[in-house]
Structures are given as structure tokens and as C-alpha cells.
Amino acid sequence: MDKQRKLIIAGNWKMNKTVPDAVELASQLQTDLGKVTELDVVVCPPFTALSEVSRVLRASTMRVGAQNMSEHPYGAFTGEIAAGMLKDLLVRYVILGHSERRQFQNETDALVNAKMKAALAAGLKPIVCVGETFSQREAGQTEQIVGDQLTGSLAGLDAEPMQESILAYEPVWAIGTGRTATPEQAQQVHAFIRGWLSRRFDDTTARRVRIQYGGSVKPGNARELMGQPDIDGALVGGASLDAHTFIEIVRNSL
Ligand code: 13P
């Protein structure tokens, strides 16, 4: 299917992999996926492994992303990492507003919005995550919740930087649970998000922004998910920690 949007498959390693383990995984991926150009392949290791993984992937077509960053450019913010520091390590993408950070670090849409602007100002491509919980879905609030998250996270943004950004729909109930949204369920929300983009920005922007799906993506369900008209890639958690599995997901998405 020609969506005129290049698929983007990203592995979110979360808080996994020591530096030697990360180097080994990146090397394995590089061997198999290092020349892939039909779609964008990104890995997002923990901060501690970014430098070494960047080095391993330097000569490949694969790109490196971070899992979070500060909204500030520098200063007295103990324990934080600034966008410029990520740029130093050849990082191109940064995941923002992942539901685990919203849940465990109390990240709000306003904070995600500030981080997004800081990322774009530094030349990083943000991957902004949205998604409803199980009880919100059960209560029929999915579109309301996702719409509110988009309104807050993308506040004040112009169409041009929006087109450089990536959105990820990650239903919280599908993350790490083995319970994937069905392709139809995912497509429905992706179509809602694209309609939202069209109303908030314009048709061109809606047509250009890539929207990833995340939540228990596996080799067995990748093809069908990627075949949906408004799904433009995957944000893969658990299945990105094993080279063979992640390679299969990418291959099945081609
Ligand atoms: P799982 O693929 O482990 O469900 O995680 C999805 C995710 O949170 C990616 O950011």
C-alpha cells in the first residue's frame, strides 16, 4: 500500500541493557538492518548506552533515539539530560510523554509540550506518545482522552515543526501486556488522530505526519498492523530487546 509516508519502526529499550549488552544488540541489528532504506529504523537505548550504540550504528542507515530529555537547555537540574547533549551523541529522535513517564514521573501534557519545543529547537525529532487506559476505553473516552493529550502536548506548535514530528498511539492497556489492539481498533484511533491533525493544522500536515502504533507489537502482528491506512510504523518495547525478533518485525513491515 502506498501511503506516501515512510514507515518508521523504533525500538524502545526502556530501562534494559548494560552497555556491553546494548553494543551486542546494536551490532546484531546493524548486520541485518544496517542498509535498510525502504523504512526508517530507530533504536532508543537508555542514556548510558547512547554513545556506544551511536558509534556502532554510525555507518548504517539506522538512527538512534533517546527515551526522554529535559525541557531546559542547560543549568542546575540535577540528573537531567539536555537536548544539546543528545545531539552530541548523534541522537536524532527523542521519545516524549511515554505513558510510563506520565504514570510514574507524573509528566503532564504541558511538560511534554515544553520538552517537544526544546527538542525541535535543538533539531531533534520528537516522538510524542498518547493513549488511553483500559478504564478510559471501557468508558468510551478514548477519543476525548487522546484529543486532550494532543491539544496539550502540541499546544502552540506550527504546522512545519509538526510535520517534522512523529506521533505514537500507545493504548496503555496494550503496553507490555501481550494484549495488542486489533488492527481495526488501532486504525480507528489513528484515523481519529489524523482527522484531529487536519482540523488543528491543515490537510497537508495531517497527510505528512507519521503516526506509530505501540503496544505488544510482535513479528506475528506487525504486517497486519502496518497494513492499516493510517498506521505508519511501530514503537516496539519488549520485542525490540531481542535482535531476531526486532529484525523480524522490521522485515514483516517491509
Ligand atoms: P511493548 O511492546 O512491550 O508492549 O511496549 C510498547 C511500548 O511501550 C513502546 O514504547
Q: CATH code at 137?
A: 3.20.20.70
Average pLDDT (144-152) is: 98
- Domain membership flag for residue 184: yes
Average pLDDT (4-14) is: 97
Average pLDDT (98-113) is: 97
Across the chain, the runs of DSSP E, i.e. the strands, are: 8-12, 40-44, 63-66, 93-96, 125-130, 166-169, 210-214, 233-236
CB 238 near ligand 1, within 6 Å: yes
Distance 234 CA to ligand 1 centre (A): 9
- Domain membership flag for residue 157: yes
pLDDT at 164: 96
How far is the C-alpha of 233 from the C-alpha of 198, rounded, in Å? Answer: 20
- Domain membership flag for residue 195: yes
CA distances from 32 to 29, 57, 69, 144 (A): 5, 12, 29, 41
Does the predicted TM-score (pTM) go above 0.75? yes
- Domain membership flag for residue 196: yes
Question: Is 60 exceeded by the pLDDT of residue 120?
Answer: yes
State the pLDDT confidence band at 2, using cuts at 50, 70 and 90. low
Question: Is 90 exceeded by the pLDDT of residue 4?
Answer: no
> Which residue's C-alpha cell is 552530541?
88
For the CA of 174, the closest atom of ligand 1 is: 4
Average pLDDT (163-180) is: 93
Instruction: Compute the residue count for the chain.
Output: 254
7 in the Ramachandran plot: left (φ > 0), alpha (ψ -120 to 50) or beta?
beta
State the pLDDT confidence band at 3, using cuts at 50, 70 and 90. confident
State the pLDDT confidence band at 177, using cuts at 50, 70 and 90. confident
Distance 11 CA to ligand 1 centre (A): 9
State the pLDDT confidence band at 1, using cuts at 50, 70 and 90. very low
Distance 127 CA to ligand 1 centre (A): 14
pLDDT at 116: 98
Q: What is the pLDDT of residues 45-90, one digit of tens each?
A: 999 999 999 999 999 999 999 999 999 999 999 999 999 999 999 9
Compute the radius of gyration of the chain from its Cα atoms.
Answer: 17
Question: Is 90 exceeded by the pLDDT of residue 13?
Answer: yes
- Domain membership flag for residue 1: no
CB 216 near ligand 1, within 6 Å: yes
Share the mean pLDDT of the chain.
Answer: 97
How far is the C-alpha of 230 from the C-alpha of 207, rounded, in Å? Answer: 9
CB 239 near ligand 1, within 6 Å: yes
How far is the C-alpha of 195 from the C-alpha of 101, rounded, in Å? Answer: 26
CB 20 near ligand 1, within 6 Å: no
Question: Is 60 exceeded by the pLDDT of residue 135?
Answer: yes
pLDDT at 180: 85
Active site residues: 98, 170
Q: What is the pLDDT of residues 19-48, one digit of tens each?
A: 999 999 999 999 999 999 999 999 999 999
- Domain membership flag for residue 2: no
Strand partners, 93: 65, 125
**How many domains does one find in the chain?**
1
How far is the C-alpha of 25 from the C-alpha of 134, rounded, in Å? Answer: 33
Q: Which domain holds residue 39?
A: 8-253
- Domain membership flag for residue 3: no
- Domain membership flag for residue 176: yes
